[in-house]
């Protein structure tokens, strides 16, 4: 489902259900002046009325007796479905003759607080699949899309992807249902900027465990989670996201792990790589190694910098699949020496450590933490640079919030000198990075350090917490 | 962990001597011999991991404030539990309060699980006390009908005190119909779906603080911002030793 917004609101602000289910929603709209248009491509029937509260914009510049708004919705739907088919996704399930024929139905209605949703109507199987229809805004008057055409593109491509999701069995966590629907907007209509408007909501909350991504009212994180499928396709090849859906009803992260292993990677490796791409945003953007166009994106949140004379010590906290970004400022002249950063996980945390030198213009190659008895160790010789960035990435789902102690000191004279991007000789988990179409900052294998017996560690599996809906909020 | 629902698990015998009530009210000394608490979810259950995502532990000290005044033995507090507002609450922590001093305790959620420095905590509409699944302080709550603190003059029977308990035998979440963790004070409000407003019930909560002192506590309003009657989670609370 799309979001609530008002005319004065620059960014839509309310997150509701991904898509509504039978019994939750009202029946299809019924109008005394019901009209419809079959799309030129034959995929969709757009239902509308020209009277009453749901009346569409009646402008008809081409004089074909069909409101241009309706015709544009139909054309955009054809384009979207053609695009989805070309990418190998299933078509929305057919609804028989509901709506008058077998075409997928879109109803244009006057929304009070949102601007569109897919309504699951007829479901079968367990886990279920559903056919249904879309209801979307009848005129977009008072909404904040830069143009009406962009609003139509965003809504139709987003909601049709929910219809596609319903053709795969099982229910989806909100970050995957909304994130992938928002990602589809970008794939279907790259020129629209809804994707770009939403991803800051994800980048601002990188400490949130991705597997527990349920959101509060008005929290756009699930939509900004479009970054994850965007990453999967850029870093691991077109079709990766479809591969995840084809494994439904498998949990989307389990499915991603399976697909990634088929490409020589794994969920843990890829998630660490993803978190490092996210460091390369804003002034640290580097299209050669990460997001192709992240210079205009906001930076991820940085921890308060560790600064001063060596040794420097600090602490970050990690839960599940998440990341912390730790700047470290060393005094001028110190960088001539080889410096060692040690990350010591507590409480059963499983993390990866990536260390970068920042010269004020560009990030150096990542140095992967290698596992040693005292923790993950990464070493660099910064030279004239005085700022380092440590990316501490949680790489295992369900791990409780736990502290990671950080210490930067001059490396012992006998310490090895791992090459940037190499695995440093530690215990490798996962595999190489086969199948990528884009560059990789993660380089070699991911290193994990597991410290057991922490106070927060428990012996039984954590229960699944679904995040698919929201209580009325106050 | 449960007293209300649990049937298995570790039985703890707690011998608690409540050593009186400070303040100006000249309140009665209360002594409690012992209490049995049944931990059905076992000592290895990490209750934090069972919390809904919006209430998971956050490793950050709340930026909210606790502002108190004391008059006639009654502490009146405004507690900012807005947690960054609705859109940001999932990434902001509870605010922790020491009832004896009427002050904010500057700890984060993970620290609160192992520390006895706090009695009660607030985040949006959820209230926790430092006992059971919430922490090691053995703080417990009894719910007593009454519209004012003055209406409560005697300690409730021991068997109506509850600890926070939002996990079952398998360490799975026990929640309210709205998905919030089922804490001892989970039912403190009535919800009006038409206005989206929370109204405190006409109840007084007798809190046995971690010190053993009994406090009677009342939630005056969830909307304590005089500049915005719709801004939720700015509690006005009053309490006094019992």
When pLDDT is cut at 50, 70 and 90, the band that residue A26 belongs to is low
The two tokens of residue B178 are: 């709205």
- Give percent helix, percent strand, percent coil of chain B, each to the nearest 5: 10, 35, 55
Q: Percentage of chain A surpassing pLDDT 70?
A: 82
% of chain A surpassing 90 pLDDT: 77
pLDDT at A441: 36
Give chain A positions within 8 Å (CB) of B82: none
**Between B86, B91, B191, which is nearest A217 by CB?**
B86
Q: What is the chain A residue with the closest CA to B45?
A: A458
- Collect all residues of chain A within an 8 Å Cβ-Cβ radius of residue B57: 319, 400-401
Phi, then psi, of A105 in degrees rounded to 5: -105, 135
Strands (E), B81-212: 95-98, 103-105, 120-123, 126-129, 140-145, 189-192, 197-200, 203-208
Who wins on pLDDT, A428 or A30? A30
For residue A465, the model assigns a pLDDT of: 23
Backbone angles phi, psi at A391, to 5 degrees: -105, 115
Give a yes or no: residue A265 inside a domain.
no
User: Mean pLDDT over all residues of chain B?
Assistant: 84
Residue B155 has pLDDT above 90, yes or no: yes
Cα four-point dihedral sign A239, A240, A243, A248: negative
The interaxial angle of helices A194-203 and A174-188, nearest 10 deg, is 150
List the alpha helices (DSSP H) in chain B.
47-50, 109-112
Which pLDDT tens digit goes with each residue over A78-87?
999 999 999 9
**pLDDT of res. A20:** 60
- A142 with A290, same domain? no
- What's the number of domains chain A is made of? 2
For residue B59, give the nearest of A219, A317, A458 by CB distance. Answer: A317
Cβ of A465 and B52 within 8 Å? yes
* Chain A residues with beta carbon closer than 8 angstroms to that of B53: 208-209, 212-215, 465, 467
Residue A406 to residue A399: CA distance in whole angstroms: 19
Count of CB atoms situated within 10 Å of the CB of A409: 14
Domain boundary among A175, A195, A215: A195
The answer to whether the bond into A127 is cis (omega within 30° of 0) is yes
List chain B domain ranges: 10-241
For A463, the closest of B53, B173, B193 (CB atoms) is B173
Kindly tell me the sign of the dihedral angle through the C-alpha atoms of A284, A290, A293, A294.
negative
Helix A174-188, helix A68-86: angle, nearest 10: 100
Q: Is B114 within 8 Å of A400 when comparing Cβ atoms?
A: no
- Residues of chain B with Cβ-Cβ distance to A456 below 8 Å are 46, 48, 110, 113
Considering the domain architecture, whether residues A65 and A173 belong to the same structural domain is answered as yes
Residues A186 and A294 in one domain: no
Contact residues on chain B for A404, CB-CB shorter than 8 A? none
Inside any domain, residue A201 = no
For residue range A277-294, list pLDDT tens digits in order. Answer: 999 999 999 999 999 999
How far is Cα B8 from Cα B38, in angstroms, rounded to an integer?
7
Residue A136 domain-assigned (yes or no) = yes
Distance, first Cα to last Cα, chain A? 21
Question: For residue B124, what is the nearest residue in chain A, using CA coordinates?
Answer: A474
Cβ-defined contact of A214 to B52 (cutoff 8 Å): yes
Report the C-alpha gap between A323 and A303 in whole angstroms. 11
Among residues A134, A165, A195, the one where a domain terminates is A195
Q: What is the distance in angstroms between the Cα of B153 and the nearest Cα belonging to chain A?
A: 33
A400 Cα to chain B: minimum distance (Å) = 6
Is the pLDDT assigned to residue A179 strictly greater than 70? yes
Residue A336 lies in a domain: yes
Write out pLDDT tens, residues B4-60: 322 222 222 222 222 222 333 333 333 333 333 344 455 578 898 889 888 999 999
**What count of residues does chain B have?**
242
**Pick among B55, B56, B174, B190 to test the A interface (most A CBs inside 10 A):** B56
**What single-letter DSSP state applies at residue A20?**
B
The CA distances from residue B212 to A90, A357, B21, B33, B152, in Å, are: 63, 53, 9, 11, 18
Task: Locate A123 and state its tokens.
Answer: 């479901």
Write out the two tokens for A331: 């005094």
- Using alpha carbons only, give the angle A103, A106, A109 rounded to the nearest 5 degrees: 155
Say how far apart CA A158 and CA A188 lie, in whole Å: 9
At residue A1 the predicted structure's pLDDT band, cuts being 50, 70 and 90, is low
- 3-class secondary-structure state, position A270: helix
- pLDDT averaged over every residue in chain A: 85
Q: What average pLDDT score do residues A255-273 get?
A: 98
Judge if A40 and A166 occupy the same domain: yes
Contact yes or no for A147/A187 (Cβ under 8 A): no
Residue of A nearest to B193 (CA): A472
Residue B181: what pLDDT? 95
Average pLDDT over residues A24-34: 83
Among A333, A379, A374, CA closest to A356: A379
Report the pLDDT value the prediction gives residue B42, as an integer from 0 to 100: 52
Shared domain check, A309 and A179: no
Cα separation, A90 vs A74, whole angstroms: 19
The span from the CA of A360 to the CA of A269, in Å, is 28
Share of chain B above pLDDT 90, in %: 72
CATH number reported for the structural domain that contains residue A441 in this entry? 2.60.120.380
Give residue B240's pLDDT: 98
Contact criterion met (CB < 8 Å) for A215 and B53? yes
Residue-number span of the structural domain to which A148 is assigned: 34-195
DSSP for residue A19: S
Domain final residue, candidates A167, A195, A223: A195
Domain annotation covers residue A113: yes
Give the A-side interface with B, CB within 8 Å. 13, 205, 207-209, 212-221, 317, 319, 398, 400-403, 455-460, 462-463, 465, 467, 471-474
Q: Which residue is closest to A205 within chain B, CA to CA?
A: B91
Instruction: Band the pLDDT of A418: cuts 50, 70, 90.
Output: low
First-to-final CA distance of chain B: 27
- Chain B CB contacts of A473 under 8 Å are 86, 196
| Residue A304 shares a structural domain with residue A191 | no
Per the model's pLDDT, the better-predicted residue between A363 and B177 turns out to be A363
């Amino acid at each position: 489902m799309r979001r609530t917004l008002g005319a004065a609101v620059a960014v839509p602000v309310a997150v509701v259900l991904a898509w509504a289910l039978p019994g939750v929603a009202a029946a299809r709209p019924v109008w005394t002046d019901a009209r419809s248009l079959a799309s030129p491509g034959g995929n969709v029937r757009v239902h509308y009325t020209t009277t009453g509260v749901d009346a569409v914009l009646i402008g008809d510049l081409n004089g074909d007796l069909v409101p241009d708004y309706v015709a544009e919705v139909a054309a955009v739907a054809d384009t979207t479905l053609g695009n989805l088919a070309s990418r190998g996704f299933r078509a929305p399930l057919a609804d028989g003759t509901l709506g008058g024929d077998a075409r997928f139905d879109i109803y244009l209605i006057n929304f009070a607080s949102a601007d569109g949703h897919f309504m699951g109507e007829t479901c079968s199987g367990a886990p279920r699949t559903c056919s249904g229809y879309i209801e979307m805004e009848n005129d977009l008057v008072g909404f904040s899309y830069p143009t009406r055409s962009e609003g139509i593109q965003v809504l139709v491509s987003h909601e049709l992807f929910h219809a596609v999701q319903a053709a795969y069995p099982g229910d989806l966590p909100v970050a995957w249902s909304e994130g992938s629907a928002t990602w589809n907007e970008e794939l279907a209509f790259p020129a629209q900027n809804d994707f770009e408007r939403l991803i800051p909501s994800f980048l601002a909350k990188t400490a949130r465990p991705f597997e527990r991504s349920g959101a509060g009212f008005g929290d756009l994180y699930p939509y900004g989670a479009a970054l994850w499928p965007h990453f999967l396709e850029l870093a691991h090849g077109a079709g990766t996201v479809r591969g995840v859906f084809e494994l439904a009803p498998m949990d989307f992260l389990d499915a991603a792990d399976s697909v990634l292993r088929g490409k020589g990677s794994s969920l843990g490796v890829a998630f660490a790589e993803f978190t490092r791409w996210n460091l390369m945003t804003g002034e640290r953007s580097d299209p050669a190694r990460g997001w192709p166009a992240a210079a205009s994106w906001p930076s991820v949140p940085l921890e308060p910098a560790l600064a001063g004379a060596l040794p420097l010590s600090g602490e970050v906290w990690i839960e599940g699949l998440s990341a912390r970004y730790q700047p470290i400022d060393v005094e001028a002249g110190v960088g001539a020496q080889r410096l060692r950063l040690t990350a010591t996980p507590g409480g059963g945390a499983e993390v990866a450590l990536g260390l970068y030198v920042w010269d004020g213009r560009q990030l150096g190659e990542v140095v992967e933490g290698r596992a040693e008895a005292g923790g993950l160790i990464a070493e660099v010789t910064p030279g004239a640079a005085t700022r380092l960035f440590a990316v501490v990435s949680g790489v295992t789902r369900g791990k409780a919030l736990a502290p990671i102690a950080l210490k930067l000191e001059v490396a012992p004279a006998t310490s090895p000198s791992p090459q940037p991007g190499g695995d440093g000789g530690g215990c490798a988990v996962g595999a190489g990075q086969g199948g990528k179409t884009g560059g990789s900052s993660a380089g070699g294998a991911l290193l994990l350090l597991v410290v057991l017996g922490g106070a927060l560690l428990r012996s039984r599996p954590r229960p699944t917490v679904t995040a698919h809906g929201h209580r009325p909020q106050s | 962990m449960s007293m209300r629902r649990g049937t298995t698990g570790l039985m703890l015998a707690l011998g608690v001597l409540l050593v009186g009530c400070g303040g100006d009210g000249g309140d009665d000394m209360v002594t409690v011999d012992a209490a049995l608490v049944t931990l059905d979810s076992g000592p290895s259950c990490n209750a934090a991991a069972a919390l809904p995502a919006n209430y998971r532990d956050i490793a950050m000290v709340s930026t909210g404030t606790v502002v108190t005044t004391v008059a006639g033995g009654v502490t009146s507090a405004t507690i900012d539990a807005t947690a960054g507002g609705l859109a940001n609450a999932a990434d902001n922590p509870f605010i922790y309060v020491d009832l004896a001093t009427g002050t904010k305790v500057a700890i984060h959620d993970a620290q609160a699980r192992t520390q006895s420095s706090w009695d009660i905590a607030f985040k949006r509409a959820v209230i926790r006390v430092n006992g059971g699944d919430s922490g090691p302080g053995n703080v417990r709550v009894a719910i007593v009908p009454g519209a004012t603190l003055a209406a409560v003059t005697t300690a409730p029977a021991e068997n109506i005190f509850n600890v926070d308990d939002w996990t079952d035998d398998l360490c799975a979440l026990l929640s309210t119909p709205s998905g919030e963790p089922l804490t001892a004070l989970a039912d403190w409000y009535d919800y009006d779906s038409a206005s989206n407003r929370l109204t405190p019930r006409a109840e007084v909560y007798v809190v046995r603080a971690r010190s053993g002192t009994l406090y009677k506590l009342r939630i005056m309003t969830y909307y304590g911002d005089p500049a915005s009657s719709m801004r939720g989670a700015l509690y006005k609370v009053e309490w006094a030793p019992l």
